[in-house]
Each structure stands twice: as C-alpha cells, then as structure tokens.
Amino acid sequence: MLMSRRGAALSGEFRYLEPTYSGQASGLYMPRDQLRDRDRWAYALKHNGTIDSPIGGLGLNIDAKRVSDDNYWRDFSQRTSPMGLGTQLTQRLLSADASLGWSRDDHSVSVRTLKWQTLQDENARIVPPYDRMPQLHWRYAPQEVPGGFDATVEADYTRFRADSFYTRQPNADRSFLTAQLSRPFLAPAGFVVPKVMLNTTNYQFDSAITNGQTSLSRTLPTFSLDSGLVFERDASYFGRNFLQTLEPRAFYTYTPYRDQSMIPIYDTGLNDFNFASIYTENAFGGNDRIADNNLLTLGVTTRLLDADTGAEAVRLGVAQRLRFSNQDVTMPGGKAVNDRLSDVLFGAGINWTPEWAFDTTVQYNPKTSRSMRSTVGARYSPSKYHTVSAAYRLQKANDFIGEASEQFDVGWQWPLNDLWGDKGERVPGGPGRWYSVGRLNYSMKDSKFVDTVVGLEYESCCWVGRVVLERLQNTLVSSNTRLMFQVEFLGFSRLSLGSNPLQSLQRNVPRYQMLRQDVSSPSRFTQYD
C-alpha cells in the first residue's frame, strides 16, 4: 500500500478454519510516517475455538485490537486500515479481550481479561472504560431440580482498573454472588412463574470513597411473579384462515430500597425501555445498581398465525408499568422515578405476505400526551435481489437523552435492467446485469445526510464487479468518506482496491443479498414464533 503523503505501508491478513476452531489475524506496518516522523502499526487478532476433553468442554476466545498511537484513528481511515477491519481499528476505544472457559454437566467456569486502549484527543478527551484484570466467573445451573424448580447460582470476582485521573473514582475489586429459585407452572392455556433472588455484593477500593470507607457491601432480595394466559380462536380475514391469539400478561416485582449512592459505577447502565426490558426485575444492566421496585407491568398481545404454515402475519402489543412506590435508586446524577404510570409501549408488526412487511414501535407519555419515541418501518421484497425499505425514527429529549433526533432512512437493492424492461435473473450466455444498491440516512433535525452508502454491481457469467461510495459520520462535525472497488471471481476469490465493499453493503443495507448467493425459501419453522 502506498499513501502519497505518508509513505509506503505493508498490510496483510491471514485466516484459518478447522472443525473446532477458527480465526484471523490482520496487520499494518508503516516503517516511517513522513508526516508524523515515526513508525506506525496496527493489528487485530480473533480466535474462537472449543475442545471436548475428558475433563469437560474447553473454549478459548480472543479478540484483540491495538494501534501504535493516539492519532491512528484520525490519520488512518477505514480505507487504509487492515483488510476487513477498518471500522474496528479506527475507533477510539480498542479492546483486547481473552477468555478461557470450562463447562461440564451443570457447572461452568470462565477466566477473562479485558484491557482497553483509549486513543485520547487533547481537545476531546473521553473517559476510558474499566479494564477487567482479571474476571473470574462460576455458574451452577442444575438441569434437574426436585419438585419442578429451576435454580441458578452465579459467583463473580472482577478487578476493575482504569486511570483515576479520568474516572474520578477509585479502582475496585468487586465480588458478587447471586442465587435464584423459580417454579414454573406451564400449561397450553397459560403460565405462572414465581421467582425469588438474592444478590450479595462486596467492594474493596484501592482508595477511600467520599465517606472515607475503603469497602462496601450490599445484600438485596428480589421477588417476582410472571403470569400470562393464551386464548385462541379460528378466524378469517380477507379470505385467509388464521389462528388468532389473545395473550394478556402480568408481571410483578418487588425489591426493597438500599442506599447505593456511595457505590461507584464500573459496568452498569440504564436499560433501554422496550418490550424486552419492561418485563424484567431490574431497570439497570450490570451489577453496581439494583433498582428498588414495587411495580406491576400489564400488557397484552394479539397475533394472527397462518392456519396452514404457522407464519405470523400480524402482531399487535401494548404494555405499561404501574408503580406503587418511587424508584429512588438511580445512576449518578439521575432523578428518582416518581410517576406512578410509566410511558405506554405500543408495537405492531405486519407480514401479510412474504413480499410486504410493516413494523412500528411507539413510546407514548400519557402525562404529556406526546410520543417520546417512535419507529415506523416498511419493506417491499418481491423477489431475489429486489428489496426496498424505509424507516422513520423520532427520539424526544428526556432526562437520559439530552438531545432530540429525527431521522429518515431508506435502503434498496434493485436491478437497473428492470428499468428498461429486461426483468428477471440473468440467463446463462445472456448479457450481464446491473444492480443499484444503497442506503441513505437523513437527519431531519440537522437537514443533512448523516450516513450515505451508494453503489453499483455488475453480474457477468463468471464474475461480479462492485463500486461503492460510503460516507459515514463519526462525530458531530466530521465524517469519513471512501470509494471502494471489488472484482469477485465466482467460486474462486475476491480482489478489492481499498476496503471490502461487500462488507459495507452487508453491514449497512437492510436485507442485502450477495449476487449468486443461494437463498432458501422461508419455512414454517423460520417464520413461526
């Protein structure tokens, strides 16, 4: 590789694939950067492997990325980074993550090390995440518990280390033990699952916290009761026969209050508010905060399932939390949750035919009679290599999101030959076919395109050519632009100039299909929920 202003660089990639393990290694080395007057380098390693041994299953996973200096992310674009890893190596947070795991019967143990390289900018410094040096984890989940119970016990010890100059809090050794016991009562007409949990956590700090202590402990019980009913009936709409369901659900959880304001944050954040998280016991992800809860979540879902295939044609859902007392446990600087009624979640998904799909999610605030967050999307995919999708996303500012956003997104893959009447797939011996592909993300608030990916593909008898222009915003005021070329010799290899345009299309264009790729028709097992 030759960069006209910086000089010559050598880059390469090595991949391996065996029945029980696989991986790749990529790297770049520039002996002398003429603009920085120093050597520059970058590498990325990835390995995933499992082994069945007499003592149990063993697994080793490695994902490590490193660069030579703090300016690498600014000086080297995705286009000039090692093949296939441009996006990963041009971020300001680079991880070196390695874990060794063992499992046998009901037990599993893992040892993990995670160390971050933070590329600092004097004009825009960021707080580095905590290294885990090391993290030891044990889990016991017996498959057979007398009386129909389900039980799980987990223990974890982690040494959190980071530069206190940025974090403004002490490093710590954290250990926790969680145990939970549930008794599912399951039937075709519904379910009831009572559960009790106990969490005990201990912190040892390397320096005193605000109140002068160098250690803290916290023990909290949690009780939850999940229940639901399933009603079914035969129905017919627009000449189609369906099995229609009505599925009400009630979820209650209680956790007493414990003052946790003195506990620093090491790996914890507020969970997103959605249909997956609204039926959970804790409002936080991680182990530094356990929300005090006394709330009931009520929801109902109705579905239309095709009577012949079992495919889900329509899904409609609504859910809301009813809070009986305030939630006083918050993230640092957060406000207590005093509202007795949460926002209402509305969701709809329609897949009336395999060609058409529609989905929407709305978070509605009954107190202000306003939608706080909305997502509306539609897709049309009449056949292979023919797809058009559009989405509208609205996010209002709130206590957790300081700035509102409103975006419109459109993506497509479509044969250009269709425009002049040459429809259908390419026939053997016939002329080549041109395809247009791309995705545009437009910020209505800023009146500009945020992300743009547009390209052309050409399919011939034995090769495929691609040209892709990609412009992705990486900060509020800057973006990366790259032009990529590729020739694919079918069944043999791909030659790229710069980064791989195929990876850009697969990553950015919804439902993109690689030309000449065999795509199986959906079955009742892939579409049934």
Work out the average pLDDT over 164-192: 96
Q: Specify the pTM.
A: 0.84
Over residues 31-71, the pLDDT tens digits come to 888 788 889 899 999 999 999 999 999 999 999 999 999 88
For residue 524, what pLDDT is reported?
Answer: 46
**Which phi and psi angles does 366 have, rounded to 5°?**
-70, -20
Query: At residue 194, does pLDDT exceed 50?
Result: yes
Q: Which two tokens stand for residue 377?
A: 């999307």
Q: Which residues pair with 187 in a beta bridge?
A: 190
Query: At residue 133, does pLDDT exceed 70?
Result: yes
Exposed (0-12), middle (13-18) or buried (19+): which is 324, by Cβ within 10 Å? exposed
Over residues 417-475, the pLDDT tens digits come to 887 766 666 555 456 789 999 999 999 988 889 889 999 999 988 889 999 998 877 66
Query: At residue 81, does pLDDT exceed 70?
Result: no
Q: How many CB atoms lie within 10 A of CB 302?
A: 15
Query: At residue 11, does pLDDT exceed 90?
Result: no
User: Regarding predicted confidence, which is higher, 516 or 24?
Assistant: 24
Query: At residue 500, does pLDDT exceed 50?
Result: yes
Over residues 390-401, the pLDDT tens digits come to 999 999 887 667
Tokens 């995933």 identify what position?
Answer: 48
Separation CA 339–CA 345 (nearest Å): 16
Query: At residue 84, does pLDDT exceed 60?
Result: no
For residue 526, what pLDDT is reported?
Answer: 46
For residue 201, what pLDDT is reported?
Answer: 98
**Which phi and psi angles does 477 have, rounded to 5°?**
-120, 0
188 with 230: CB under 8 angstroms? yes
Q: Which two tokens stand for residue 155?
A: 């223990």
For residue 498, what pLDDT is reported?
Answer: 61
Reduced DSSP (H G I as helix, E B as strand, rest coil) percent helix, strand, coil of the chain, to 5:
5, 55, 35
Separation CA 285–CA 251 (nearest Å): 19
Separation CA 33–CA 79 (nearest Å): 17
Category of 429 on φ-ψ map: left (φ > 0), alpha (ψ -120 to 50) or beta: left
Separation CA 38–CA 42 (nearest Å): 13
For residue 424, what pLDDT is reported?
Answer: 60
For residue 446, what pLDDT is reported?
Answer: 86
Work out the average pLDDT over 224-228: 98
Work out the average pLDDT over 167-174: 96
Separation CA 327–CA 342 (nearest Å): 12
User: Regarding predicted confidence, which is higher, 85 or 317?
Assistant: 317
Over residues 518-527, the pLDDT tens digits come to 545 544 444 4
For residue 265, what pLDDT is reported?
Answer: 96
Percentage of the chain modeled with pLDDT above 70: 89
User: β-strands 312-323, 293-306: how paired?
Assistant: antiparallel
For residue 33, what pLDDT is reported?
Answer: 81
Separation CA 317–CA 151 (nearest Å): 31
Work out the average pLDDT over 242-265: 97
Over residues 331-376, the pLDDT tens digits come to 998 899 999 999 999 999 999 998 999 999 999 999 989 999 999 9
- For residue 41, give the 3-state DSSP assignment: strand
Query: At residue 281, does pLDDT exceed 90?
Result: yes
For residue 2, what pLDDT is reported?
Answer: 46
Percentage of the chain modeled with pLDDT above 90: 67
Q: How confident is the model at residue 529 (pLDDT cuts 50, 70, 90)?
A: very low
Query: At residue 96, does pLDDT exceed 80?
Result: yes
Q: How confident is the model at residue 28 (pLDDT cuts 50, 70, 90)?
A: confident
**Which phi and psi angles does 148 have, rounded to 5°?**
80, 15
Q: For residue 395, give the amino acid letter.
A: Q
